[in-house]
Structure 1
């Protein structure tokens, strides 16, 4: 059987991900994966701008990724850009320069497409069953919410309230102060009325967090119970009281102290405070005893779509 190779590049607002895979009939083998904190939203996201420094970091990382892709002789490259690029006034120029420099066509996806790929990734991870779940993926620029089960998504939407945006707007003191948390919660109340209405309509009974912040929170929790995550597992349980204990700790420590928490990684240490505030806010509306943490998100959703030949963009479009 001839196996296909493919490269997925997820150009997130905070983190760029590379995933090199070999595709079989219904699954994939990871050849290589890497994530780099490029932070293309830093300094410009709330001005709808990708700064020159952010571009330099992005080009450096994409050049590194392209060398790895070429080293595996991979020609099927699926590159996605999300909130920071789709909202930037210079986003299309940025994408054109990537094409010119690296011959990589970046597909700038809208919020609904992003939410769809995240749903497919979470479903692929085995985190869902027949009950109704609220799923969330906290990016640097946007947060995607999906309500559905292991059969279909009933509702999905993207909100421009990602970690870099919240960090720039509300987290001025370190540790964060109560006034900033209050203002952040008022902002969420203002921005998330459609989500709260959807929660009341569909009444999800489970909460799933995808990748990123949830990976780090579950890593930190596993450290507290002296357990290691299974390498073959893609779904992990974080008890609500375990999350709440971690969140209270994160809200009272400064950056240097947060970095010392076992399981913390430097690329999450800044945004994890406002991200935890967001999760705490959402838990007011979803009566769960535990959070399900899916290590699969957008890039695995893209692979799921590749395997079913229903990827958002056909390979012929990537030239």
Structure 2
């Protein structure tokens, strides 16, 4: 009986929606999903090319254009999450934001204008999470991934 009830809830959409925003050096991606860790059902997956790392590589800072592209993408992603009734939203930033001398401006912008609390990953955290992603996508992965 419990299985039937669980299946009925699944069909009714009672399983909460979670989402992850990955703010990388080249792109910003939103993935929204429903379900458990082992078998999530992807509901939405979109990537915006922001090129945040270009400015950081050239000048040490995210360019004004990069900030504006990121702001527009993150505002849109936040609205999409609200429309999908996302109950858990995780936003992570990697090397471009971590290394930018204007990272505080970027993080303040995401907090104030996009209503997002972005967590900047350390290099070690970024590497560990990337490895988890490879293992999840390729269960028998062995060796070096580059």
Q: Shared fold by TM > 0.5?
A: yes
Contact 1:48-1:88 at 8 Å conserved across structures: yes
Q: Structure 2 CA distance, aligned partners of 1:44 and 1:25?
A: 34
CA displacement, residues 152-178 of structure 1 (integer Å, 9 cap, x when unaligned): xxxxxxxxxxxxxxxxxxxxxxxxxxx
Residue 25 of structure 1: how far off its partner (Å): 6.1
Contact 2:56-2:99 at 8 Å conserved across structures: no
Residue matched to 2:129:
117
Among 135, 154, 162, the alignment partner of 2:145 is 135
Q: How does 1:79-90 map to 2 (within 5 A)?
A: 79-90=91-102
The structure number with the bigger radius of gyration is 1
Q: Structure 2 CA distance, aligned partners of 1:30 and 1:5?
A: 10
CA displacement, residues 198-231 of structure 1 (integer Å, 9 cap, x when unaligned): xxxxxxxxxxxxxxxxxxxxxxxxxxxxxxxxxx
Residue matched to 1:57:
69
How many residue pairs get aligned? The number is 134
Gaps of 5+ in 2: 1-5, 7-13
Q: How does 1:168-207 map to 2 (within 5 A)?
A: none
SS at match of 1:17: strand
Give me the TM-score of the superposition, normalised by structure 2.
0.84
Give me the TM-score of the superposition, normalised by structure 1.
0.40
SS at match of 1:43: helix
Q: Structure 1 CA distance, aligned partners of 2:125 and 2:26?
A: 19
Q: Structure 2 CA distance, aligned partners of 1:87 and 1:96?
A: 16
